[in-house]
Amino acid sequence: MVAQRFASFGESVFAKFTRLAVQHGAVNLSQGFPDFDGPQLAKDAAIAAINAGHAQYAPMIGVPPLTKAIAEQYASRGFDVGHGKGVIDPVQHVTVTCGCSEALPATLMGLLNAGDEIILFEPYFDFYIAGTVMANATPRFVSLHAPTRAGAPFTFDEKQLRDAFTPRTKAILLNTPHNPTGKVYTRDELELIASLCIKHNVVCISDDVYEHLTYDPALPHIPISTLPGMADRTITLSSLGKTFCLTGWKVGWSLAPAPLSACVRAAHQFITFSGPTPLQHGAAAIIHDMTHKPSAFVAQIRSLYASNRDKLAAALMSVGLTPHRSDSTYFLMADHSEVSRRLGLDDDVAFCEYLTREVGVASIPPTVFYDTKSLGKPLVRFAYCKKEATIDEAIKRLGALKK
């Protein structure tokens, strides 16, 4: 009975591997969510909002304290929506959604007409392709290639990117820092993307949900909307969940100039209309706090994740998997081909199922993130956004692969 537009997707890979992890008692390094709590300040503010009776629909664009806190947060970092750096109006430029998960289809459906083309980098977060299908638009892919040299980042080919732009291209969807590779796009890469957006009059949708989770000071997150000529053609998407370990709160937003905010709102008002009111108040408190003083919570999780990443990468190497460099996000990719050859496993799905069932560690098979399936088959994605003890337990279990 499932409509054709969704039938080919089957069960979401995140639902499947979290289900398998529970079924087999595996350490769950599949779906990207922290296994510990968010900051008390946000929780107290959300509980206070419930007790104060904030129980009715939030305004379609979000509760005023939150839209204001988001606008101030971006203004303080020099973001631009076409009125000069730091000039952001909550009412015109910010739209609160039910997580970035809603902001994505709202943006895609609000912006794209049937037959419009959108450029996606593969591997892509699977919502991008589902959202493109919901919008009846046509995806064009640019591949991020795994490095052949240890310690090098994933890179794309300039010619493939240039060739992806056609007269039908209306948008490009950028995700930096990037899930699933942990890549942070460099200034040179972003300048190239920006110059092509400007040349072809294309809108850039920038999914920045991992913006605060970078681990190498030499590779900071650079918001593409701050590059010359990009302010009035960028829709920046982000959320509370990744930064503050509150993925289940589902508070996300878009930041865009008024004509592009209108696209997001056109769809958002008919998808959810608005997100949960008390949680928006909780989000407002913690975002306001981080604008006015450096967030100790964020500093702490950054250092935890960087240390988890290093430990996990070393452990993967010691059992014959080849981890690739990850400078950000919750994730790292590793090459499993050698181990899979030894075990007689065909591809990433077979490897991840084996790992969950026999080794007791769940991961994600990344072919679902690729149009060019051959690029994803040798790879596996691990989430390291966990307590140290969880990573230690996973490392202990991964030792079984040595045999």
What is 335-367 written as a DSSP string? E-HHHHHHHT--SHHHHHHHIIIIISEE-B-GG
Q: Which is nearer to ligand GLN, 230 or 391 (CB)?
A: 391
Q: Which is nearer to ligand GLN, 34 or 90 (CB)?
A: 34
Write out the two tokens for 19.
């289900």
Residues in region 32-71 near ligand GLN by CB under 6 A: 32
Rounded least distance, CB 55 to ligand GLN, Å: 27
Please list, residue by residue across 366-400, b when 16 or more beta carbons sit within 10 angstroms of its beta carbon and e when fewer do: bbbbbbeeebbbbbbbbbbbbeeebbbebbebbee
Q: Helix, strand, coil proportions of the chain in percent (round to 5)?
A: 50, 15, 35
CA 317/CA 329 separation, integer angstroms? 20
- SS3 state at 295: coil
Q: Which is nearer to ligand GLN, 31 or 67 (CB)?
A: 31
Rounded least distance, CB 205 to ligand GLN, Å: 16
Q: Which is nearer to ligand GLN, 283 or 368 (CB)?
A: 368
Q: Which is nearer to ligand GLN, 32 or 282 (CB)?
A: 32
Rounded least distance, CB 259 to ligand GLN, Å: 29
Rounded least distance, CB 31 to ligand GLN, Å: 5
CA 127/CA 179 separation, integer angstroms? 12
Report which residue's Cβ sits closest to ligand GLN: 32
- Residues listed for the chain: 403
What residues contact 207, with CB distance under 8 A and at least 6 apart? 100, 104, 125, 128, 173, 174, 175, 237, 238
Which residue among 28, 95, 143, 179 contacts ligand GLN (CB under 6 A)? Answer: 179
Which residue among 9, 14, 141, 354 contacts ligand GLN (CB under 6 A)? Answer: 14
CA 123/CA 120 separation, integer angstroms? 9
Q: Which is nearer to ligand GLN, 179 or 367 (CB)?
A: 179
H runs (alpha helix) in 186-328: 187-199, 241-244, 258-271, 277-292, 296-318
Rounded least distance, CB 220 to ligand GLN, Å: 22
Rounded least distance, CB 90 to ligand GLN, Å: 26
- 141 interacts with ligand GLN by CB under 6 A: no
Rounded least distance, CB 57 to ligand GLN, Å: 25
- The mark string for 224-263 relative to ligand GLN (x by CB under 6 A, - otherwise) is ----------------------------------------
Which residue among 26, 28, 31, 197 contacts ligand GLN (CB under 6 A)? Answer: 31
Q: Which is nearer to ligand GLN, 100 or 230 (CB)?
A: 100
Q: Which is nearer to ligand GLN, 12 or 291 (CB)?
A: 12
Query: With contacts defined by CB under 6 A, how many residues of the chain interact with ligand GLN?
Result: 4
Write out the two tokens for 333.
């990719």
CA 395/CA 64 separation, integer angstroms? 45
CA 227/CA 194 separation, integer angstroms? 7
Name the site residues for ligand GLN (rule: CB under 6 A): 14, 31-32, 179
